[in-house]
Structure 1
Amino acid sequence: MEKLKERLDMFSDAIIAIIITIMVLELPMPVHDSFKEYLQFGKAIGIFFISFCFVANLWYQHAVLYNDADTITNRVFVLEFIFLAFLSLTPIFTKLITEDTNRHTVMAYGVLTLIVNGLFILVSYAVIRQKYQDLTEIRRLFAKIYLNHSNFLGAVNLIVLFLAYFQPQWALWCYLTLPVVSFIFNREDHTDLEDVTKLPREDQSQYLNLSSGELRTYRKKQREIVQKYAHQRRTNPNWQAEMAQEIQTLFRQNGRKLKQSRTAPQQFKRRFPK
């Protein structure tokens, strides 16, 4: 199954490369030397970049996901092919909004992106769960780490989809920023999942009990640690090990604070609020 995993990964890369190539070839070339046609050509390039960012972001997430996978199950195969089938529709829907940008074409494009993103979440969970024996625990970790951002992005997609009915031009350019935000979130989520799964079971449970506010505070401190060691890559040969150790220490500190706050008397909490 390991060889099949490599072949599936290469197959997916080839499909994504073809998708981007088709989108480039579908760009309408100016036929006459007129300002109107050049303006339309510029708009088409802008729409191409929207779809390019969408597909490229999924390729990056896909590459990171499969880099950690050891084998592939039949469930992953089925979900992967369904995901690629819908992703392959991107050039067609891109051409639709290029030729006629109206509420119907932009909303259709938005629905496609929602479906593709939803399918990729299913693929991600199917790949990640293979690495862990305790399915209940990894389900909780996946929900805690990935679904918070996924639900937020899904809600934003629905808002943009609603906006497309009234202002399709504005909604179209909103779709350019969503892959960038998704890319940032995915990098954080993948790092969190790697770090949390390396912790002892007790520390993992404490992490799962963090509130949304505590999780945001943790991630802010985590980014500060990453930025700190990013400047040491050339001068410190052990920067990766030291960064991992400091992030794990941060996990434990958050867990201890949470445990102490939940075991403290209620009167103490009221007297000394956070």
Structure 2
Amino acid sequence: MSYKLREVLMNQNDPIANLGTDRLQSFSDGVIAIIITIMVLELKAPNEPSLRGLLAVAPVFFSYVLSFVLLILMWVAHHYLLHPIRLVDRPLLWANSNLLFWMSLILFATAYLGQNPVEPFAVALYSVVLACVIGSFALLRQVVFRQLVHNQDLARHHAAIQLQNLIATAEYLLAVPLAYVSLYLSYAIFVMIPLFYIMPGYWRTKRH
């Protein structure tokens, strides 16, 4: 069965498939914007107007920066991921909702880490949430891949990025036990993974 015929049959059998991606993208953009807005509202100016006062809130600011960079990367990737999609079906809706659920938990994990930056449990919890976020995005990419499998160039492109997603998920999971061995190693993973996605080689791959 050709992709075009399969697309027509999906449209006939599933009314949701007749919806465009505009609503899905707008809703997702709105949720991500709300997450970032609430997260920045958690930043409180120190009571003491001095360098010592700023250093006291540095862990909260650092956790915010880590989460903000990751959220922006996810938002950009989400935009490019859904751009070529023609059909909005139930698996896509549920996979996208699952991703937004885990992204919303970044709010709690970020605040908890900022308040307990040297507690292994707080670092481990932050690692688990981020692993679930990246893993959920990998699941969404797999659902999207079903509609693009007919295009070999896009299929290879998605397979390469999917491998990066799985590696990042494994690294975040690795940061969980490392939090009880060395907090520095876990924090190094938190910093390196966003850089892993921002590398020039990654953007060259995305342009192709």
Are the structure 2 counterparts of residues 42 and 143 from structure 1 closer, same or farther at C-alpha, using a change threshold of 3 Å?
Answer: closer
- For 1:118, the equivalent position in structure 2 comes to 135
CA distance in 2, matches of 1:123, 1:148: 14
Does the aligned pair in 1 maintain the 2:63–2:114 contact within 8 Å? Answer: yes
**Cα distance in 1 between the residues matched to 2:193 and 2:129:** 14
Q: What's 1:154 paired with?
A: 169
1:149-188 correspondence runs (5 A):
149-184=164-199, 187=203
1:80 equivalenced with 2:80 (yes/no):
no
Letter of the 2:76 counterpart: Y
Deviation string 1:196-254 (CA, Å, 9 cap, x unpaired) is: xxxxxxxxxxxxxxxxxxxxxxxxxxxxxxxxxxxxxxxxxxxxxxxxxxxxxxxxxxx
- Kindly indicate whether structure 1 or structure 2 has the higher relative contact order, using CA contacts under 8 Å at least 6 residues apart: 2
The 3-state SS of whatever aligns with 1:15 is: helix
Residues 151 and 189 (structure 1), Cα distance of their counterparts in 2 relative to 1, 3 Å cut? farther
How many equivalent pairs are there?
A: 190
Tell me the distance in 2 between the aligned counterparts of 1:14 and 1:147: 25
Tell me the distance in 1 between the aligned counterparts of 2:126 and 2:100: 16
The CA deviation string for residues 1-37 of structure 1, in whole angstroms up to 9 with x for no partner, is 4654111101101111111111110113212335443
| Distance across 2 between alignment mates of 1:31 and 1:39 | 12
* TM-score (structure 2 length as normaliser): 0.79
In structure 1, the residue matched to 2:116 is 100
Matched residues in 2 for 1:51 and 1:111: separation?
13
Q: TM-score, normalised by structure 1?
A: 0.61
Deviation at 1:180, TM superposition (A): 2.2
Other structure's SS at 1:180 match = helix
Aligned letter for 1:78? W
Cross-structure match for 2:38:
22
Higher Rg of the two aligned structures: 1
SS in 2 for 1:29: coil
Q: CA RMSD in A?
A: 2.7
Percent of aligned pairs with the same amino acid: 24
**Distance (Å, rounded) in 2 between the aligned partners of 1:107 and 1:188:** 33
70 and 183 in structure 1: CA distance in 2 versus 1, 3 angstrom threshold? farther
Per-residue CA deviations over 1:114-159 (Å, capped at 9, x if unaligned) read 111111011112112113459xx89x84785234323332333233
Q: Which runs of 5+ in 2 are unaligned?
A: 1-16
